[in-house]
Structures are given as structure tokens and as C-alpha cells.
């Protein structure tokens, strides 16, 4: 999650949707509250958020939801910002998570119990069943409130990330170059699935699939849109 009061934007980082690349591209344009003395002290004692500082110095988690951000800013401030996020085909998302946890070693989450457990599983099917049993949260939860109302101004797609990111930059009025961070090399996500596994994802992520219009067999999806 990045916020800029100067440029009037808030980026909601939905995990595994190209958000690391977006955050890197926007980093120099965003506000950074890490140097605020209270945030440094809290970080020292293992607390990584601060929702009670002066609002320009509040610190949020990397994957803060739009609703959490809205509720922890002064009334009406979130709605005055250009807020945006990106979502991803849930079947592809789960394959991306699988490789993210198994293959890379330079991310803090890779030292977690979840990473170690994922690495010990024999194949993608075992991993998928493990994650779904854990109750993997929907992408909708990151961009909508408790009633399901989408809160962000613009909802882009991982599948059209470069074009949608460019549209966001033009709206904000900045120039930023989108690179690639945390990318994995793999084939078409569909080769990881049989009918049974595809149905498991369809059932678990039914809300995302219906809301965002994804299909298992589709080669492409609509461009990002204003929410």
C-alpha cells in the first residue's frame, strides 16, 4: 500500500497482482512515514503499523485493504484520493502463489512457516488444497467494504497491467516506468489444473470470479475500469 498526499493517490496492493512492480515504480512519488520517530520506535519493538499518528505520518501494512485505509484516515479523505488496485484471475493467482512460496528466497514471507510447509508439499494439488483449507481471502476483501461495495476509484487487471498502470499515472499526473519485481518463470496456468482442481478454485473464489468477470478458459479479460 502506498499513499501520496502531495499527488493525491492511494495504491491498494492486492497480493500477487503485480503490486511489487507498481510499488517500486511509484516509490519516489509516495509519502514515507518510516522516519517518523514514533514509527521508528514501534518498529524497534516489533510493531509495524501506526494508525494513530498525525494522518500524514500514519503507517500501514503493505497489504492494507481499501476499507482499513479508509477507516483509519480522517473522514472523507480516502474518497478525495484517486485510489486504485489490480486484481488477477484466481486460477492464475494460485499458481503464482505456489511458485512465489516455493521458488524465491529473498522475501521475508519466505522465512515463514507457510513457506516451509508449502515447500514440503509434493505438488500443486497438495498446495492448492492446503491454501483453500487455510481460508485464502478473496481479492474482493481488499478493494471493497463489508457490504461488497467497491471502494477504489479504478480497478485494473494484472492481465493488462502495463496499460492500466499507464492510465493511472496519466490520471495522477506523474511519469513512472513499470518494471518487473517478484516475477516467476512458468507456463500457462491452465496446465496445472484438471477439472476437479479448477472447480475447487471456482467454488472458493466465486465472489471474485463473478465480480471481476474471470473465466478459467479465457485467454483475455476486459481492461481495467473505473469502479
- CATH code: domain of residue 33: 3.40.50
Four-CA torsion 60, 98, 196, 199, nearest 10 degrees: 20
Is residue 114's pLDDT more than 80? no
**Average model confidence (pLDDT) for the chain?**
89
- What does the pLDDT look like over 179-200, one tens digit per residue? 776 566 577 899 999 999 999 9
Measured from the Cβ of residue 78, the count of other Cβ atoms closer than 10 Å reads: 20
Whether residue 11 has pLDDT greater than 70: yes
Residue 4, pLDDT above cutoff 70: yes
How many Å apart are CA 44 and CA 157, to the nearest integer? 36
Give the domain range for residue 78.
Answer: 2-226
Residues 16-63 have pLDDT tens digits of: 999 999 999 999 999 999 999 999 999 999 999 999 999 999 999 999
What integer is the mean pLDDT of 199-209?
96
- The Cα angle at residue 72 between residues 161 and 135, in degrees rounded to 5: 60
Q: What is the pTM of this model?
A: 0.88
Is residue 157 within 8 Å of 166, Cβ to Cβ?
Answer: no
What is the domain count for the chain? 1
Work out the angle between the directed axes of helices 90-103 and 195-204 (0-180°, nearest 10). 100
Amino acid at each position: 500500500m502506498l499513499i501520496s498526499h502531495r499527488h493525491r493517490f492511494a495504491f491498494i496492493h492486492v497480493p500477487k497482482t503485480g503490486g511489487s512492480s507498481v510499488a517500486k515504480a511509484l516509490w519516489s512519488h509516495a509519502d514515507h512515514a518510516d522516519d517518523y520517530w514514533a514509527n521508528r520506535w514501534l518498529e524497534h519493538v516489533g510493531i509495524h503499523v501506526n494508525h494513530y499518528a498525525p494522518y500524514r505520518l500514519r503507517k500501514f501494512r503493505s497489504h492494507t485493504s481499501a476499507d482499513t485505509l479508509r477507516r483509519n484516515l480522517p473522514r472523507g479523505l480516502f474518497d478525495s484520493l484517486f485510489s486504485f488496485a489490480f486484481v488477477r484471475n484466481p486460477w492464475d493467482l494460485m499458481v503464482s502463489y505456489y511458485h512465489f512460496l516455493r521458488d524465491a528466497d529473498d522475501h521475508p514471507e519466505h522465512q515463514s512457516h507457510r513457506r516451509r510447509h508449502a515447500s514440503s508439499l509434493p505438488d500443486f494439488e497438495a498446495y492448492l488444497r492446503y491454501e483453500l483449507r487455510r481460508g485464502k481471502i478473496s481479492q474482493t476483501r481488499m478493494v471493497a467494504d463489508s457490504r461488497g461495495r467497491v471502494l477504489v476509484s479504478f480497478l485494473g487487471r494484472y492481465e493488462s497491467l502495463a496499460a492500466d498502470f499507464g492510465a493511472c499515472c496519466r490520471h495522477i499526473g506523474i511519469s513512472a516506468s513499470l518494471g518487473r519485481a517478484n516475477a516467476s518463470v512458468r507456463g500457462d496456468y491452465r496446465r496445472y489444473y484438471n477439472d476437479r482442481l479448477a472447480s475447487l478454485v471456482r467454488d472458493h473464489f466465486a465472489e471474485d470470479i463473478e465480480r471481476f468477470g474471470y473465466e478459467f478458459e479465457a485467454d483475455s479479460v476486459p481492461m481495467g475500469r473505473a469502479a
